[in-house]
Amino acid sequence: DDVYYSPKYNDDLYEYRHVTVPKQIGRLLAEYEWRGFGIKQSPGWVHYMIHNPEPHILLFRREKDFQIKYPNATINTKVGGLVG
């Protein structure tokens, strides 16, 4: 498996994690793209930033307590991402 998932960490607003992928994937991705590359995460995660020195480390975040606030959210693998 070429994908590594970091432990989750958070601040007052968001929950974060980073995912390391093969170097050729390193760019900002829509949800349908990163899911298409085989990255598996529960609903609500957004690839929000690129760290230029290491673009193959994808930075994700989602609203803190997302699964409690939106218990019926589902994953949509088409363009547009999340279905609430």
- pTM summary value: 0.81
Cβ-defined contacts of 8-17 (< 8 Å, 24+): 10/64, 11/64, 12/64, 13/63, 13/64, 14/61, 14/62, 14/63, 14/64, 15/61, 15/62, 15/63, 15/64, 15/66, 16/59, 16/60, 16/61, 17/41, 17/45, 17/60
pLDDT tens readout for residues 38-81: 899 999 999 999 888 999 999 999 999 988 888 888 876 554 44
The ranges assigned to domains in the chain are 4-69
Q: Please tell me the predicted confidence (pLDDT) of residue 46.
A: 92
6-15, 27-36, 63-72, range with greatest mean pLDDT: 6-15
